A and B are shown apart, each in its own frame.
Chain A
Amino acid sequence: MYSWGNYDDTLYTHYKNPQDHEKHLERLKVLVTEAETTGGGKVPPGLYAEYGYALYEAGRMDEAVIFFGKEKEKWPESAVIMDKMTRNVQRQEEIRKSQTTKDTGSTPEPGGQKQ
């Protein structure tokens, strides 16, 4: 029913090399793009969320929120968890912004922020 591409291999590869964030992100992006285009929009459940999470881990917060929103829109069953993820990102962004204004001169890496 869905355009999975090599979804399971992508996860499998990520579990094998958990530090391989950038490549994992890139692979997920390919899966999303393929499902939306050649896959005729048959994006499988969970894929937008997995991509959103990889973006979040990379510190690309605005994009992460967009993909959590896409997951929720396509799959209402995911609403509880996607809302939670979105709030989580927004909270971290607020913390980051307040710290950036306090520590003038230092611009922290997005995503590298730990409280």
Chain B
Amino acid sequence: MNRKPAAVFVSILAFLAVSGCATAPKKDLTAFKSENPRSVLVIPVVNKTVEVNAADYFLSTLSMPVAERGYYVFPVDVVKHLLENDGLADSAMVHGADTMKLCNLFGADSVLYVSIERWDAQYLVLTTQVTVAFDYTIKGCKTGDTLWNHKQTMVYSPQNQGGGGGVGALVAMAINAAMTKAMPNYMPLARQANGMAFKYPDGPGFPSGPYHPDYMKDLATSK
């Protein structure tokens, strides 16, 4: 059973159980549809956690999912540098700046504000549970109003399957916890959270943009 070396190895490799938060009620996308943005300016991420590098790491994962929804996404690293040159080195200052000013500076149609609410690992004796929580907001450049908002929480912990347990399984779990503690890798979790957040129409995301084949077709899917 689980005590076979191969099985133990497999559980050390850690199949990770990922759980998203409960499905939220349908979002009101009226404002989003009426502004109909073509481009999204992804600005540096505000970090409300103690994980120092989380903001930069997370910023690097945002372009892909938004662009794949069919929008032009401004080059995040270039944007970051230009904002720094403009005296906005701190992401909280960028988030506090006038949306219209940001829009005009880059010629953007909308701005994506992301903040990291949680980015932490809880070390238990035989397992480690990693939790991330993000707040995503898109504001439109025609009005400055919020077009879309979503809060995404993800928890992942090494899957401790097999009720039998035994010494082999315990060892595997302990190794697993130690590995996660030594090098918690949040990137896959960040990518998954983005994937869930931007999913549409069968998710909390927003309609497809001009570069997506479903552009203007999936508008009717959610009222």
Q: Using a CB–CB distance below 8 Å, which chain A residues touch chain B? A: 1-2, 4, 7-9, 11-12, 14-16, 44-47, 49-50, 53, 71, 75, 77-81, 85
Contact = CB atoms under 8 A, between A and B. Distances in A.
Nearest to A47: B75
Contact of A15 (B57, B107, B212): B57
A49 B107 CA distance: 15
Contacts of B191: 8
A46 B107 contact: no
B56 interface: yes
B211 interface: yes
B78 A44 contact: no
19 contacts: A1-B68, A1-B211, A4-B64, A7-B63, A11-B76, A11-B77, A14-B77, A15-B57, A44-B63, A45-B67, A45-B72, A45-B73, A46-B67, A46-B76, A77-B39, A77-B72, A79-B107, A81-B74, A81-B78
Tell me if B's interface is mostly helix, strand, loop or mixed: mixed
Interface size class of B (residues with CB under 8 A): 20 to 34
Given A53-B78, A78-B74, 10 more contacts: A8-B63, A9-B187, A11-B59, A11-B76, A12-B57, A44-B67, A46-B74, A49-B74, A49-B75, A78-B39
Nearest to A2: B67
Contacts of B211: 1, 45
A15 B56 contact: yes
Contacts of A16: 53
